[in-house]
Structure 1
Amino acid sequence: MSRKLVVCGGSGFLGSRVCKYAVARGWDVTSISRSGEPKWITVTSSAAPPQWAHKVSWERADILRPATYAPLLKGADFVVHSMGILLEADYKGVLQGRESPITGLRKAFSTAPQPGNPLERGVKTGQDQDIRPPETAAQLTYENMNRDSAVMLAKEAASEKVSAFVFISAAGGAPVLPARYIATKREAESIVASEFPSMRGIFMRAPFLYDNSRPITVGMAGMTLMGKIFNDVTRGVMSGFMGAAGTKPLKVDVVAEAVVEALGDPNVKGPIEVPEIEELANKAWRKGML
């Protein structure tokens, strides 16, 4: 049966591969991102679009402005949120020399009170509204990217009677990241599950992702794997501190296949940890071999 899938963040490292595996199942796939179609050299090993990409509708919209993407959700069976940030910074300000990366790091580790979720703030979805709190209008924060964008996307998806919603969460924090990074991911999971119970919520707690098309990720995955081995040898004595650094890394295609398999299985819901992600990907692989 043909399904309609909308992937917010479909032009990214993971999101583009979710689109690929959904196309392989014959689904109708729409990608939503600020850039539209990806710059392929940034997500694959080639600058040319792969064949499957021609079967995806590459749409432009702003995840922080729900009115720009809401019409694209009509008729969708499934929606995926594959967006977020690792570190906070005013990226435009950094690129234009108006703000240093150090300033972004200071903001990330700030203990100042952070705004509550957009449902509590009564954020509307009119054309002139967005989900950046006024005090951080120029700043991408963990709250508005890792949490609020997912919550508002889920709200719009639920209003369109979408049957399943995947949020790409995270396996855990890491020593170099502020606690708010993983806290906002968990808050998004909790809010989506509690506020939209009619929609099957799937929370992929992905570890560090790698692929040969991004050589730097292969080296970083090796270091992460060493952390996993150390964590196993010490029986998890440092797991609370190491977070994702003590979790087995996965190839990005493994997680993408698992996302599509989870959407197609009505029994899959709730938090999905790394072992379950691998099981789902293996299940999808076996189906492809039949």
Structure 2
Amino acid sequence: MSTIAKKLVVCGGNGFLGSRICKHAVSRGWTVTSISRSGEPHWDAITASKTPPSWSQSVVWERGDILRPATYAALLKGADYVVHSMGILMEADYKGLVSGKESPVAGIQKVFAAQRDRGINPLDRKQGQDIVPESTNDQLSYEVMNRDSAITLAKHAAEEKATAFCYISAAGGAPVLPARYIKTKREAENTITTAFPGMRGVFPRPPVMYDSSRPITVAMAAMVGGGSIFNTLTGGYLNSFMGAAGAKPLKVDTVAEAVIEALSDESIVGPVEIPQLEELASKAWRKTML
């Protein structure tokens, strides 16, 4: 393990995975900055307690809007590594469904309806220019949140000479998710790789993640775990259909440890699939035993 402290910036560092990435970076003595719209996490939303953990005092919790680069670009200066740990699973109008303004059937139809590309091309935007889609209804789209925000962040990270950029991708889609979910994830990976060849791109592809501090994630992992066992017993016959729903779930800390280990290992480039995530996390754990 390198004895030189690194500077890490995590966009989405107050989230379920992002906060754990910050935690494991702090444990290595790295300088860590988290950027999110709300700043410091609401701890009871991502852990079992409202009390901030002791390691959080070593993180600089900054406010910034991923769609407005001017709010965070200055925070990337001097960063060795930059992580994009945010995105959306669904585009459904939850408020409309809950309020009764939209029926569940109509909401589901919207989610799975054929869609045009609702994003913008970040590479055509000037440095620091906001990500503004044609319609405000497109702002919370897969294209903008899962793809364009990541490409824009990578663009600014490359401008600041970051040595590595980590985009949290996904193991695959699922029968309950539109194809555009995983399509935009892969488009982000490909564009970051080709547009910024001087910056090492690292793309972890985690499955469903869980932690005992959030019981709902444990329940989800249990359901997915059943699908994973079935898929394994059938020789992976349903891989393309089940996507992440047929993949073995991982503890969120396992993924976070793997991310930090991947960033610190210059040989790790490109997609990082589930078996390699487990290997990297195990490698990181062994280092703490030395």
Please indicate, yes or no, whether the TM-score normalized by the shorter chain is above 0.5.
yes
**1:124 partnered with 2:107:** no
Matched to 2:253, the amino acid is D
**How far is 1:186 from its partner?**
0.3
* Corresponding residue number in structure 1 for 2:31: 28
Q: Deviations over 1:65-124 (max 9, x none)?
A: 111111110110000000000001456x5499496484654443231321455235x223
* Counterpart Cα distance in 2 of 1:237 and 1:165: 33
Alignment of 1:1-290 (within 5 A): 1-90=4-93, 94=96, 97=99, 100=102, 102=104, 105-115=108-118, 117-119=120-122, 122-126=124-128, 129-137=129-137, 139-290=139-290
User: Given that residues 9 and 81 in structure 2 are in contact (C-alpha distance below 8 angstroms), is that contact kept between their aligned partners in structure 1?
Assistant: yes
Matched to 2:115, the amino acid is A
Normalised to the residue count of structure 2, the TM-score between the two structures is 0.93
Moved more, 110-119 or 276-285: 110-119
Q: Deviations over 1:30-75 (max 9, x none)?
A: 0000110000001111100000000100000101111111111011
Matched to 2:63, the amino acid is R
* Counterpart Cα distance in 2 of 1:113 and 1:204: 27
User: Given that residues 154 and 192 in structure 1 are in contact (C-alpha distance below 8 angstroms), is that contact kept between their aligned partners in structure 2?
Assistant: yes
User: Given that residues 88 and 139 in structure 1 are in contact (C-alpha distance below 8 angstroms), is that contact kept between their aligned partners in structure 2?
Assistant: no
**How far is 1:141 from its partner?**
0.4
**How far is 1:19 from its partner?**
0.2
Q: Deviations over 1:139-158 (max 9, x none)?
A: 40000000000000000000
User: Given that residues 118 and 141 in structure 2 are in contact (C-alpha distance below 8 angstroms), is that contact kept between their aligned partners in structure 1?
Assistant: no
* Counterpart Cα distance in 1 of 2:97 and 2:62: 25
> For 1:75, what is the secondary structure of its paired residue?
coil
> For 1:6, what is the secondary structure of its paired residue?
strand
Question: Any stretches of 5+ residues in structure 1 without a counterpart?
Answer: none
Cα RMSD (Å) of the superposition?
1.8
User: Given that residues 8 and 31 in structure 1 are in contact (C-alpha distance below 8 angstroms), is that contact kept between their aligned partners in structure 2?
Assistant: yes
> For 1:134, what is the secondary structure of its paired residue?
coil
- Structure 1 residues 89, 125: CA separation in 2 closer, same or farther (over 3 Å shift)? farther
**How far is 1:219 from its partner?**
1.2
- Structure 1 residues 274, 176: CA separation in 2 closer, same or farther (over 3 Å shift)? same
Alignment size in residue pairs: 286
* Counterpart Cα distance in 1 of 2:100 and 2:156: 35
User: Given that residues 210 and 221 in structure 2 are in contact (C-alpha distance below 8 angstroms), is that contact kept between their aligned partners in structure 1?
Assistant: yes
User: Given that residues 138 and 144 in structure 2 are in contact (C-alpha distance below 8 angstroms), is that contact kept between their aligned partners in structure 1?
Assistant: no
> For 1:58, what is the secondary structure of its paired residue?
strand
**How far is 1:9 from its partner?**
0.2
User: Given that residues 120 and 132 in structure 2 are in contact (C-alpha distance below 8 angstroms), is that contact kept between their aligned partners in structure 1?
Assistant: no
Normalised to the residue count of structure 1, the TM-score between the two structures is 0.93
> For 1:253, what is the secondary structure of its paired residue?
helix
Matched to 2:182, the amino acid is I
* Counterpart Cα distance in 2 of 1:187 and 1:271: 12
Matched to 2:286, the amino acid is R
> For 2:14, what is the secondary structure of its paired residue?
coil
Question: Any stretches of 5+ residues in structure 2 without a counterpart?
Answer: none
**How far is 1:138 from its partner?**
6.1
